[in-house]
Structure 1
Amino acid sequence: MSVTGSNGATRVAVVYYSATGNVHKLASAAADAAEKAGAETRLRRVPDYVGESPAPEFTEWNRAWEEHREAVKDVPTAGVDDLGWADAILFGGPGRFGLVAAPLKHFVELAWPLNTRDGLVNKVMSSFTSTGAPHGGQESTILSLNNVFYHWGAIIVPPGITDEIQRAPSNGNPYGVSSVSGRQAVPGRLAENVTDDNLAAIGHQVRRMIEVATALRRGFGEDLPR
């Protein structure tokens, strides 16, 4: 079964959850880089599955959460069909105590039926995150997503230290691009701590995914086994 785009391009889905905009900014940069690389691209957000902020007692964070939710309301929401459609999938979400944020984990669980049909086998996957502090669980958050990819039979493509941009002071995580959002979200100043180097690094990560996915498609004769 061919999984290439209508124009023969590699299909890339950027699937992310963002609470106050940091991951959204990285995901948008990844989607832009994928399109510039010639991929057929879908940017898809995972929404909160609750109707109110998970932290209403933190006034400024709660206002920032509401501001971000309003700002991204027109971004299409992710569906499991986006995973089945793609050749390469980039997942992103904030770290929560070193784990994947609950909305993204919930979305991953919705892919169970697709996984049982081997619908995710041999797809190229990678992940990225943002945390409040440099040692706020960035690597464990990414590796928890990678554990899911192992179960799916996916092919994991990390950024590694494969480009000079990874050596920039605000980068360096070889498992996946990681930004430091800061400990406090400020309304009117969302995602301001995502650096230009972070954005350049996520562009490198998604281009690397596309290169591998395209090579695999050619190696499989454009037809990935199911």
Structure 2
Amino acid sequence: MTNVKLAIIYYSMGGTNYQLSKWAEEGAKELGAEVKVLRVQELAPESVIQGNEGWKAHVEATKHIPVATSEDIEWADAIIFSVPTRFGNMPSQMKQFLDIQGGLWATGKTVNKVVSAMTSAQNPHGGQEATLLSLYTTMMHWGTIIVPPGYTDPVLFGAGGNPYGTSVTVDQNGNMVGDVQAAVKHQAKRTVTVAEWVKKANQ
């Protein structure tokens, strides 16, 4: 059992990255980690959300999920981010959340956090890897320890397997292509395990 504190911070419009986050939570808890699942603040106009039935339904279904704060980052030993791709980049909602953490960064409170990330897109080459790399670029500036899944388990050669982080293809009906749950859980457990090593080394 581990004493690692893991924050899973996501942005989701239709529910895919929320589901990835819940699977990551399950995987981390299997190792005994203390887990918070958190969403970043929505920036889209209410009128736009109300005009999209799927988006509106997801917002309503997840309104109980706490909004991530700087205090959550400071609390966590490890962070898993989960975001859809937006033209090969992370969504503006996640970018804003990261951009307002200058106070934590300036005081060294992001240093040596163990970080990993997951993503989704509507086609297999829709920018998943570029999205993860864009997020990891910020993490390099933060001084985090980036823990990609690599090819550290046979499950990563199947659906969702990606050495940068789990990446999911979503069809036009919003359904994930392939069984990616095992890849997500492996990534979560790897992140928690490395965070435990780092935590012990710093004690």
Residues 34-45 of structure 1 aligned to structure 2 (within 5 Å): 34-45=28-39
Q: How far did residue 217 of structure 1 move? A: 1.2
Q: How much identity, in percent, do the aligned residues show?
A: 40
Aligned partner of residue 198 in structure 2, secondary structure: helix
Distance 1:78 1:218, change over 3 A: same
Distance 1:157 1:65, change over 3 A: same
Q: Which moved more, 1:119-128 or 1:47-56?
A: 47-56
1:70-117 per-position Cα deviation (integer Å, ceiling 9, x unaligned): 111111111111101000000111000000001011111121111111
2:10 and 2:119 mapped to 1: Cα distance?
A: 9
Q: How far did residue 36 of structure 1 move? A: 1.6
1:53 and 1:125 mapped to 2: Cα distance?
A: 34
Q: Pick from 120, 132, 135 the counterpart of residue 110 of structure 2.
A: 120
Q: Pick from 6, 26, 43 the counterpart of residue 12 of structure 1.
A: 6
* 1:24 and 2:18 correspond: yes
2:81 and 2:176 mapped to 1: Cα distance?
A: 20
Aligned partner of residue 43 in structure 1, secondary structure: strand
Aligned partner of residue 196 in structure 2, secondary structure: helix
Query: Residue 2 of structure 2 contacts residue 196 of structure 2 at CA under 8 Å; is this kept in 1?
Result: no
Q: How far did residue 54 of structure 1 move? A: 4.8
1:78 matched to which residue of 2?
68
2:170 matched to which residue of 1?
181
Q: How far did residue 50 of structure 1 move? A: 3.1
2:199 matched to which residue of 1?
217
2:2 and 2:197 mapped to 1: Cα distance?
A: 13
Distance 1:39 1:45, change over 3 A: same
1:41 and 1:166 mapped to 2: Cα distance?
A: 23
Larger Rg: 1
2:80 and 2:202 mapped to 1: Cα distance?
A: 21
Query: Residue 2 of structure 2 contacts residue 31 of structure 2 at CA under 8 Å; is this kept in 1?
Result: no
Q: How far did residue 47 of structure 1 move? A: 2.9
Distance 1:194 1:106, change over 3 A: farther
How many residues align? The count is 203
Stretches of structure 1 that go unaligned for 5 or more consecutive residues are 1-6, 222-226
Query: Residue 22 of structure 1 contacts residue 194 of structure 1 at CA under 8 Å; is this kept in 2?
Result: no
1:147 matched to which residue of 2?
137
The TM-score with structure 2 as length reference comes to: 0.94
Q: How far did residue 8 of structure 1 move? A: 7.2
1:92 matched to which residue of 2?
82
* 1:101 and 2:95 correspond: no
The TM-score with structure 1 as length reference comes to: 0.85
* 1:69 and 2:52 correspond: no
1:23 and 1:120 mapped to 2: Cα distance?
A: 23
Query: Residue 160 of structure 2 contacts residue 178 of structure 2 at CA under 8 Å; is this kept in 1?
Result: no
Q: How far did residue 172 of structure 1 move? A: 2.7
Aligned partner of residue 7 in structure 2, secondary structure: strand
Distance 1:126 1:112, change over 3 A: same
